[in-house]
Amino acid sequence: MSHTSVGEAEVACGESEVVRTEKSTAALATRLVPVVLAGGAGSRLWPMSREHYPKQLIDVLGSDSLLQATVQRMEGFRADGSMVSAPIIVCGDEHRFVTSEQLRARGIDARIVVEPARRDTAPALTIAAADLCSEGDDAIIVAMPADHAIENLVAFHSAIAVAVQHAQRGAIVTLGVPPTRPDTGFGYIRLGSELGRGAHRIASFVEKPAAELAEQYLASGRYWWNSGIFAVRASVWLAMLRIMQPVMHDACVLAHAQGTHDGAYFRPGADAFKSSPADSIDYAVMERLGSDERFADGVVVPLDAGWSDLGSWDAVWEALDKDADGNAARGRVVFEGTTSSFAHSQGRLIACVGLTNVVVVETDDAVLVADRSRVQEVKSVVSRMRALQAPEVDAHRKVRRPWGYYDSIDHGERFQVKRIVVNPGGRLSLQLHHHRAEHWIVVSGTALVTRGNEEFMLSENQSTFIPLGVTHRLENPGKLPLELIEVQSGPYLGEDDIVRFDDTYGRA
């Protein structure tokens, strides 16, 4: 069976077409561009992961968030003269500021593509591929979910090196994880013919199996877990998508062509992007490889590097070091007569006594207690809470903003108290409220306050009052964080009672 090679791929990039010949492609240096897909929610890791601060942004395993760890994963990669360029991060509009802040904190230079809406991983990868092709760059993309964990980076780099060799010749490559147990929570890849260095052609993809079938897969040795990590040339991905998913291809390429730069962010055209079908990389392309002679070769390369998709609290327990009784903990935790359990404290002390196989996760405003064998049901609990309009589903008590953060430390009928921290140079929008007044007391730092037609400075232990309906703004002109206490009073204290007149960060 013949396969589409890199040299045969004719790719629509914006308004023009990039036609690559085998000769010109062979002359290209092997440039790798990590593409980090960071648009997920991860409700199974509630209460730490929430709609407004999802799984990839939390530090569930160590001092780095999962996003930070993923973006740094290709650092130091060396194979056959390959050159790793700055990554592309694809994320949602709501998370762009925190994503930028986390990258900046680790000194990471990246391009950030802001999705106008969630359309799953295939459109996200397509926008990144179109972005590379529009610059005349047919780099090899290494696409990675932002919320997985990999323990052994040396083994990971070895697997990527094999994947890149196949991607160079025009294959679409995924990394498969040799299973260590009959897990029903993963999709599987059935292995085809061997290609050397452990790689195989992809025979088929298999949905998450029942327990008995998962045991058969494990015993056969012919099935690997699907890691969701891919390597493919930008032009090959676009060529395959144009054949297999023409509506998605055209919508995403048009969205890129209509895109605009907004400071550090690239925004695809919203209407065009929203017209794309929503689909995953697996469903849109990978599961169809090999079924038609026009399609690229599908290859799976083994990844034996301590991989986990961290899809549940049980997976987090698996990934962490444990004591002699099989317990794993983060934060202030004490175990007594407890075995095979996991506890995570973000502040308060957790004491676990006489428990077995239990998960306890504490945050400022919610506590999860679950049987470790039933943690997949956390997603169902979140759905029930959403139906009840519980605010803990969407946001933490501490809410991050592009200028800093606020923490809602107390509230009652007609009042709310917040601790507000504004970063040096941070500037809140010029705004007013129809239903509440505000008192500001500076705890530390210096505040530049706009109140109506006035502009004045406040320092430590000074305060001011913002009457209902008066335009106002808070800025930090200093070099240290500004911390203040805000007391709100009024009949309605919702965050949607904001009318913005001017905003440094482009928020509506």
Core vs surface per residue 463-502: b (16+ CB within 10 A) or e: ebebeeebbbbbbbebeeebbbebbbebeebeeeeeeeee
Identify the pLDDT of residue 5: 36
Can you list the positions of beta strands (E) in 23-166?
Answer: 31-38, 83-84, 88-92, 111-115, 140-145, 149-150
**β-bridge mates for residue 330, sequence order:** 344
Domain boundaries defined on the chain: 6-308, 316-387, 398-502
Identify the pLDDT of residue 506: 81
Does the CA dihedral 45-47-48-53 come out positive or negative? positive
Does the CA dihedral 248-250-251-252 come out positive or negative? positive
Identify the pLDDT of residue 136: 80
CATH topology of domain 6-308: Spore Coat Polysaccharide Biosynthesis Protein SpsA; Chain A (3.90.550)
The parts of the chain modelled with pLDDT lower than 70 are 1-29
Structure tokens at 94: 């709501």
Q: Does domain 398-502 have CATH number 2.60.120.10?
A: yes
Structure tokens at 188: 């599987």
Identify the pLDDT of residue 305: 96
Do 332 and 348 form a contact (C-beta atoms < 8 A)? yes
Rounded Cα distance, 172 and 190, in Å:
16
Identify the pLDDT of residue 24: 41
Question: Nearest-CA neighbor of 252 among 93, 137, 122?
Answer: 122
Global pTM value: 0.87
Query: Which CA distances in Å does 486 have to 404, 409, 420, 467, 473?
Result: 14, 10, 7, 13, 13
Rounded Cα distance, 237 and 6, in Å:
10
Q: What is the CA radius of gyration of the chain?
A: 25
Q: % helix / strand / coil in the chain, to the nearest 5?
A: 25, 35, 40
Contacts of residue 412, Cβ cutoff 8 Å, sequence gap at least 6: none
Identify the pLDDT of residue 12: 40
Identify the pLDDT of residue 13: 39
